[in-house]
Amino acid sequence: MNRHIVVLGGGLTGLSSAFHLSRRFPESFITLIEKTSRFGGWISSERVQVRDEDGRSAEILLESGPRTLRPNAKSVLELINILGLKDSVITTPVTSSAAKNRYLQIPETQGLITLPNSLTSVFSPPMRTMLLPHVLQEPVKRGNRPTGVTDESVDSFMSRRFGPIFARTFGSALVHGIYAADSRQLSVRAAFPSLWEMEDRGWGSVVRGALRSKPKKSQGDYDVGDIPEMMEGVSVYSFKDGMGTLPGALVEHLQNQSNVELLRDSPISSFGVVDGGQMEIRLADGQTINPTHIVSALPLPVLQNLLYPNSSLPYLTVNPSSSVVVLNLVFSQRQHSLHPSGFGYLVPRPPSGYSLDNPGILGTVFDSCALSAQDSNATNFTKMTVMLGGPHPITVSHTNIDTVLKHLSVHLTGPDDYLKVMPEPILVRTRHHVDCIPTPTPGHLDRMKDLKNALATGIWAGRLEVIGAGVRGVSLGDCVESGKRAGESFIP
C-alpha cells in the first residue's frame, strides 16, 4: 500500500512521530507540517554572552522550556542511541547536591524547607511534624475510596489518604512542578497512576501498596544500546547545548530521509473528511494535501478548531491548559552564594488559595547548581529560573523584575536571618508560554478511550491518530513515547 502519512505539529511529539513512522513504514511518504519557522515546540535553548561590571564574561545557556530528563524514559534513551547523541549528554549524579537537595517554600513564611532525601531525614525537623505523622497514620486508616469512584483529583486522593494539610503542602507543590496546575483539578489516574495502583494493591492503603511488590511491566522493544549503563546512578540529565539538542538532531535526521518531507511556516487552515471518504488538509497558502493517514500531535483545542464540521471528535476541549511565565535570571556572584546548594524549590498552594495578592511563583530552579556543565567560564555567575502563573492569576506587576526579586529575597533568606537583598541581575529573559501544559481532569482516561473508539470507526475509520501531551502525558518522555507508538493502528 502506498501510504502518505501526514503528521500535524512539529513539536517533540510530532518529530518523534515522523522519525518512527519513517522507520516503521519505509515504503511510505511522511510529511510533517509545522505552522512556525522552527521545530521543537516549547523546547527552546539559547546561548548568550554575559559580562558584569568588573569585566568578567561568560557564555550562559538559557532554557525557556523543559530543561532536564529522567533516565527511566527508554524512548528517549533510544533516540539518544540511534541519533548518536551519547557524547552530548551531561548528567547529574544521584550523589550530587542538586539531586539530593530539593526544597519547599511555604507561602507566608521566610526561607526554604529541605525535602527529605533519606529515611533518617524524615525524622528530622521540620519533616518530623510536617510529613511523618501523615505517612505513619495512612496504613492504619481504613480504605475510604467511595464506591463506584473510578477517578478523582490529586487533591481529593491525597486528602482522603493523607489529610488536607499534606495534600495542600506536598501534593499541590508536586503538581505545580510538573503540570503548573491546580491539584484540585488534576486527575490522579492520568497524572499519577501509580498512586491509584498502590491503593488498589495495598487494600486501600497507599503506603501498604508501596511496600508490596508489583508485577513487572514489559520493557518493550527499545534500541538503547549501552545508554542505560551510562545512566546508572544518574538523577537527571540534559545535553551540553541544552534540550534543543534533541529536536535539532531529529530535524537533521529527518531532512536526510528520502521518504520524509518537512514543511515549516505552513499553518493549516482546516482539515477533515470530504465526500467519498477522502481525507483533505487545507493549508493557509491554498495548498491541499490528500493523505491516506494523519497523525495529529496538535494541542487538542487547536485540533478542534481545525476540523471540518462533519469531522468533529469528542472531548477535545474538555481539559483546561496552564500558561506559564518563565524568567531566566543571571547574577554576578561576588562573595556569598545567592541560594543553597540544590536543584531548586517548589511553592505549594497558599492557604488562601490562588489570588492576585499572592506572588504567583510556582517554583525556582537553581540552574548553576543543577547543570553547571552547560555554561562556559561561569564560576563568577549565578543562573536561576523562576516559573510563575499556572493556576495563579498573573498581571504585569507579578512579572516585574523588582517584584520578583523582592519575593526571591523572602524565599532565599534563612527563617531566622535578616532579609537578604537580592542584587540586580545582569540579564533577564522573560517568556510567556500560553496554554503550554494541558491539565487532564478526572475522567480523562475514560474520555480518551471514547475518543480512540470514535477515531477507529465512522468517517475516520482508523486513519487518524490523535496523540501528544493532551492525550497521554506531559513529560518529554511521554511525548517521545507517544511518537514511538504513532501509526501502530495503521498496521493491517
Per-domain residue ranges of the chain: 4-42+244-317+441-490, 45-74+85-99+320-438
Write the single-letter amino acid at 209.
G
3-state helix, strand, coil in the chain (%, to 5): 35, 20, 45
The CATH fold assigned to 4-42+244-317+441-490 is: FAD/NAD(P)-binding domain (3.50.50)
Q: Is 145 helix (H, G, I), strand (E, B) or coil?
A: coil
Torsion region of 301: left, alpha or beta (phi above 0 gives left; psi -120 to 50 gives alpha): alpha
CB 254 within 8 A of CB 19: yes
Query: Residue 218: its pLDDT value, please?
Result: 65
pLDDT digits (tens, 9 = 90+) for 41-63: 999 999 999 999 889 999 999 99
Place of cell 505523622: 133
Query: Residue 408: its pLDDT value, please?
Result: 97
pLDDT digits (tens, 9 = 90+) for 245-257: 999 999 999 999 9
Place of cell 491516506: 292
> Which of the four pLDDT bands, split at 50, 70 and 90, describes residue 121?
confident
Buried b / exposed e over 71-104, threshold 16 CB at 10 Å, is bebbbbbbbbbbbebeebbebbeeebebbbbbbb
The contacts of residue 81 (CB under 8 Å, 6+ apart) are 223, 224, 225, 226, 227
Q: How far apart are CA 98 and CA 93, in angstroms?
A: 8
Q: How far apart are CA 393 and CA 388, in angstroms?
A: 9
- In this prediction, residues 400-417 reach a mean pLDDT of 93
Query: Residue 152: its pLDDT value, please?
Result: 99
Residue 414 C-alpha cell reads as 534563612
Average per-residue pLDDT for the chain: 95
CA 449, chain centre distance (Å): 23
pLDDT of 120 higher than 60:
yes
Q: For residues 261 and 123, which has the higher predicted lDDT (pLDDT)?
A: 261
pLDDT digits (tens, 9 = 90+) for 155-195: 999 999 999 999 999 999 999 999 999 999 999 999 999 99
H/E element, 249: helix 245-255
> Which of the four pLDDT bands, split at 50, 70 and 90, describes residue 416?
confident
| Dihedral (CA of 232, 69, 82, 62) sign | negative
- Residues facing 48 on adjacent strands: 60
Query: Residue 378: its pLDDT value, please?
Result: 87
pLDDT of 345 higher than 80:
yes
Range in 12-26, 87-101, 206-220, 455-469 the model is least confident about? 206-220
pLDDT digits (tens, 9 = 90+) for 469-483: 999 999 999 999 999
- CA-closest candidate to residue 264, choices 10, 6, 1: 10
Task: Please compute, for residue 409, the number of CA atoms within 13 A of its CA located in the half-sphere on the CB side.
Answer: 13
pLDDT of 142 higher than 90:
yes
Share of the chain above pLDDT 90, in %: 89
Residue 486 C-alpha cell reads as 504513532
Query: Residue 219: its pLDDT value, please?
Result: 67
- CA-closest candidate to residue 381, choices 342, 423, 326: 423
pLDDT of 335 higher than 60:
no
- Cα angle value 90/95/101 (rounded, 5°): 100
pLDDT of 336 higher than 80:
no
- CA-closest candidate to residue 370, choices 384, 357, 358, 381: 384
CB 12 within 8 A of CB 481: no
Q: How far apart are CA 311 and CA 313, in angstroms?
A: 7
CB 92 within 8 A of CB 100: no
pLDDT digits (tens, 9 = 90+) for 360-394: 999 999 999 988 899 988 889 999 999 999 999 99
Range in 119-128, 149-158, 189-198 the model is least confident about? 119-128
Query: Residue 492: its pLDDT value, please?
Result: 65
pLDDT of 78 higher than 70:
yes
- In this prediction, residues 223-236 reach a mean pLDDT of 97
Buried b / exposed e over 314-334, threshold 16 CB at 10 Å, is ebbeebbbbebbbbbbbbbbe
Pick the CATH number of 45-74+85-99+320-438 from 2.120.10, 3.30.470, 3.90.660, 3.30.870: 3.90.660
| Dihedral (CA of 69, 72, 73, 77) sign | positive
